[in-house]
Structure 1
Amino acid sequence: MQTSEVIALTIIISTTLILLIGGTLIYFLFLYQRKRYRHQQEVLELREAFNQTLLQSKLEIQEQTLDHISKELHANFSHLVSLININLSEILPQSSSEIKENILETKSLAKQLLGELKALSSSLNTDHILHIGFVKALDNELTRLSKTKKYEVSITKTGEEYRFAAEHEIILFRLCQEILNNTVKYSKAKRVTATIIFSPTSFRLEVADDGIGFDIDLALEQVAEKGSTGLMNIKKRAHLINAEVLLNSKPNEGTSFVIIIPREQTK
């Protein structure tokens, strides 16, 4: 074999070996990167699952606390208000005409307070909410808001009503309470509306007000600074029930929350 042929064969073999080694390195590098990516995904999934479990546990504790408060309001405070009303009724016949007017007014206030306590107790009681259903529970909540004489409220419903899984229905109701709480605290609104649409493919709820509105991006930036958790709680609760939340607001143009839940999330 001539020297030139040996050199050519050597070059071919060397090139083949280099390509083979390079290809092997690239293959193992690809496997390593894919394994690393999978590991990162698993870590993210585990972290997300942990956060979901933690949030679910916190919500369960909150529900237990609210149930306890509900029972205390109904058993103790309502009973005390009833006793006050009874005592006022006993004093009334023995009072002068001038004092009677004050006593009657106090009895009226006590009766109003008793009604408010019962309504508040019902809104905190998980079993009661599940018994009457989400739509009626939201209607009751808006009625309580209306009784403050500060807001004009309305609720409209279209489509054939269907129920959600029990835990989803509670989370959805608490989410709405959070929205209404934000409205009361910040909106300076005069009108609050709720629009519910039951369609064959999804559930849609819009809660809107005619208040002062706000800059959404700025509000989200200031969440950490102000320690405000309202908007974050709404998003977290919505995520638990696979709901999409659309927030629309601009300064001086009111605020609306739209909640969309796929039909498969229902019973």
Structure 2
Amino acid sequence: MHPTSSEVSAITIIVSTVLLLLFSSVIIYFLFLYQKKRFLHQKEVLELRETFNQTLLLSKLEIQEQTLDHISKELHANFSHLVSLININLSEILPQSTDTMKDNISETKSLAKQLLSELKALSASLNTDHIIHIGFSKALDNELKRLIKTKKFTVTSSKTGEEFRLRPEHEIILFRLCQEVLNNVIQYAQAKTITANLIYSKNLFRLEIIDDGIGFDIEESDSQRAQKESTGLPNIRKRAHLIDANVDIKSTIGHGTNVTITIPINEYTKGQKYY
């Protein structure tokens, strides 16, 4: 029995529909594969770009550390030596001087001694090996003592919890980050009081640097940094990102600034304990 024309039409419609659905499914499948490959490609490009930026920043920091080490050695070897010679010459001149000159020479000797002390402290703060040897906590203490010696700031600090070391490269980056923060306070904040709080816990390290300066508008500073060619805040955030740290900056005009640096403690960041 031959199928009727209506049956043939129905079969044709069914077959056509199935083929159309199959064809559509194939197109959708290939579109999905294309989108997936495109997404993976974009992800790879972003990861490569991020890796490149991190490598570039690490290279810059390495070059910077090498430069700072060189400056540190020059300060210690040459400038400190010159200041010591000046002090020796002043000591030889002192007995032969008049009473009026003796007071001036003694004052100059005192200033030379102070300069020598400052040069040694500055040399130590620039020397990467020295920072690694004494650790971040002690290096930050020394930096705060240098601020106290200027007699321009009231500086206080506190430590909570059992101290431990971070990885050496992390401590170097963290210390340079703190130097950047303190430098911003010195140059722009017009602060009278600086407070540094270190909190050590099992899973977290937190550092707070607080000043009572004039404060600033963070959003405005971010939006205008290209015009002002400012790299302070971006540098702080980039350095923090390298050591898996979070930087929270809170500032109110007229009420100072609070910079909080938080680092999760894990196998990647943890060093050894203090002994």
Deviation at 1:79, TM superposition (A): 0.4
Question: Is residue 254 from structure 1 mapped to residue 261 from structure 2 by the alignment?
Answer: no
Which amino acid in structure 2 is aligned with residue 207 of structure 1? I
AA aligned opposite 2:59: S
Deviations 1:59-117 (A, max 9, x none): 00000000000000000000000000000000000001111000000000000000000
Which aligned runs of 4 or more in structure 1 are off by greater than 3 angstroms?
A: none
Match of residue 15 from structure 1: 17
2:135 maps to 1:149: no
Match of 1:135 in 2: 137
Among 114, 117, 139, the residue aligned to 2:116: 114
- For 1:69, the equivalent position in structure 2 comes to 71
Q: Which runs of 5+ in 1 are unaligned?
A: none
Partner SS state of residue 153, structure 1 = strand
- The answer as to 2:201 corresponding to 1:174 is no
| Number of the residue aligned with 2:244 | 242
Q: Which residue of 1 aligns with 2:61?
A: 59
Give, in angstroms, the shift of residue 20 of structure 1.
0.5
**Runs of 5+ consecutive residues of structure 2 not aligned to the other structure:** none
Paired residue secondary structure (1:260)? strand
**Counterpart secondary structure, 1:200:** coil
Matching residue's letter, 1:191: T
Provide the rounded CA distance (Å) in 1 between the counterparts of 2:181 and 2:158.
17
Q: 1 CA distance for matches of 2:181 and 2:148?
A: 15
Of 83, 86, 89, the match for 1:87 = 89
Structure 2 residue identity aligned to 1:130: I
Q: How many residues end up aligned between the 2 structures?
A: 267
CA distance in structure 1 between the partners assigned to 2:92 and 2:224 by the alignment: 55
Match of 1:50 among 49, 52, 64: 52
Alignment of 1:90-109 (within 5 A): 90-109=92-111
Q: CA deviation at 1:253?
A: 1.1
| Structure 2 counterpart of 1:193 | 195
**What's the Cα RMSD here?**
0.5
Amino acid at match of 2:156: S
TM-score (norm. length: structure 1):
0.99
Distance 2:134 2:187 in 1: 27
Indicate the residue corresponding to 1:266 in structure 2: 270
Question: SS of 2:164's equivalent?
Answer: coil
Helix, strand or coil at the partner of 1:222: helix
Confirm or deny that 1:229 pairs with 2:231.
yes
CA deviation map 1:32-72 (0-9, x unaligned): 00000000000000010011001000000000000000000
Q: For each residue in 1:121-147, what CA deviation from the matched residue of structure 2 results, as whole angstroms up to 9, or x when unmatched?
A: 000001111111101100100110111
Residues of 2 paired with 1:259 and 1:235: CA distance? 10
Identity percentage over the alignment?
69
Shift of 1:266: 1.1
- What is the CA–CA distance in structure 2 between the aligned matches of 1:132 and 1:101, rounded to whole Å? 39
TM-score with structure 2 length normalisation? 0.96
How far does residue 256 in structure 1 lie from its aligned partner after superposition?
A: 1.0
Please name the residue that 2:222 is paired with: 220
The whole-number CA distance in structure 2 between the counterparts of 1:157 and 1:206 is: 11
Distance 1:185 1:21 in 2: 69
Instruction: Name the CA distance, whole Å, in 1 between partners of 2:191 and 2:260.
Output: 18
